[in-house]
Amino acid sequence: MKVQNKTILVTGGGSGMGRELVLHLLSKQAKVIAIDINATGLNETVELAANNKNSLSTFVVDITNKNAVEELRNKILAQHNSIDGVINNAGIIQPFVKINELGYDAIERVMNVNFYGTLYMTKTFLPHLLTRPEAHVVNVSSMGGFLPVPGQVIYGASKAAVKLLTEGLHSELANTNVKVTVVFPGAVNTNITKNSGLTSMPQSNADNKSMKVLSAAKAAEIIIDGMENNSYRVLVGSDAKFMDLISRLNPAYAAKFIYKKMKAILPE
């Protein structure tokens, strides 16, 4: 689905990759609805939209609140009449600790934002999308959604749930006008740590200069390109592509590879 002149909703539009998705869509002459729990971040996105800000509207909402999401749908449709696409980008990570040290409050928060937030948005807006001549749902999973990352196991579980939710939705909607894409970003330069309520992430003593971290703007470009080409899955970054291949060929080796990378920064 080409995004020009379409109305696209983006969650997490107040920062990071979500903000870049908003700005890239606007540059391609789409009308964009950005939602986020952070009003300040949304206002900053509006300012960055510059000459395109008239094509951007914003709504502050907590996507983990099912009733709030359903009310959001009514507010948006009253203002825009129609929506052609939903990009479920909003997500948070967990504290960088093993499951044994992770509290249930953190576990539930990660699952609520990453999985239930995506589910509520998808299920709430899907009936309307099915009435459109063409429409699209894009759900952002993670490289951690197909590969176990020690210290981020609950985050990975939430993103694995998004992966299968999206793939299942793709099959269910195969004979409809709604296309579905699942996205697997690798390392992308965003402020997800801050937005997750964490002060910092532990750093390895190893030299990390060789690690290629993709810019959020480039990641957004890749995602929108995948959307416009009705891609089944989109791998964002060379690390995501490499680990996807290795995990398919030898899952145990891939898991051990990541464990060795993470071992030095995991608390004992």
Share of the chain above pLDDT 90, in %: 88
Q: How far apart are CA 128 and CA 131, in angstroms?
A: 5
In terms of residues, how long is the chain? 268
pTM of the model: 0.93
Lowest mean pLDDT among 177-181, 256-260, 261-265: 261-265
Instruction: Return the axis-axis angle of helices 153-172 and 104-111, rounded to nearest 10°.
Output: 30
Identify the bridge partners of residue 57 per DSSP, sorted by sequence position.
Answer: 33
Task: Give the strand order in the sheet containing 85-88.
Answer: 56-60, 31-36, 7-11, 85-88, 135-140, 178-185, 233-236
29: left (phi over 0), alpha (psi -120 to 50) or beta: left
Q: What's the pLDDT tens digit per position in 233-244?
A: 999 999 999 999
Torsion angles phi and psi, residue 136, rounded to 5: -150, 140
118 CB-near residues (< 8 Å, 6+ apart): 63, 88, 90, 139, 162, 165
pLDDT exceeds cutoff 90 at 192: no
In this prediction, residue 214 has a pLDDT band, given cuts at 50, 70 and 90, of very high
Domain 7-263, what architecture?
3-Layer(aba) Sandwich (3.40)
What's the rounded mean pLDDT across residues 113-129?
98
Share of the chain above pLDDT 70, in %: 92
Q: How far apart are CA 103 and CA 81, in angstroms?
A: 43
What's the rounded mean pLDDT across residues 170-194?
91
- Residue 27 or residue 192, greater confidence: 27
Q: How far apart are CA 109 and CA 63, in angstroms?
A: 12
Q: What is the DSSP string of 184-231?
A: EE-SEE--HHHHTT-S-----SS--TT---EEHHHHHHHHHHHHHTT-
48 CB-near residues (< 8 Å, 6+ apart): 19, 23
SS3 call for 112: helix
Q: How far apart are CA 259 and CA 107, in angstroms?
A: 21
Query: What average pLDDT does the structure give for the chain?
Result: 93
In the block, residue with structure tokens 């390109």:
225
What's the rounded mean pLDDT across residues 56-81?
97
pLDDT exceeds cutoff 50 at 210: no
Structure tokens at 205: 């003593």
Structure tokens at 225: 């390109």
Which are the catalytic amino acids?
155
Q: Which helix (H) or strand (E) holds 131?
A: none
Torsion angles phi and psi, residue 205, rounded to 5: -75, -15
Q: What's the pLDDT tens digit per position in 135-161?
A: 999 999 999 999 999 999 999 999 999
54 CB-near residues (< 8 Å, 6+ apart): none
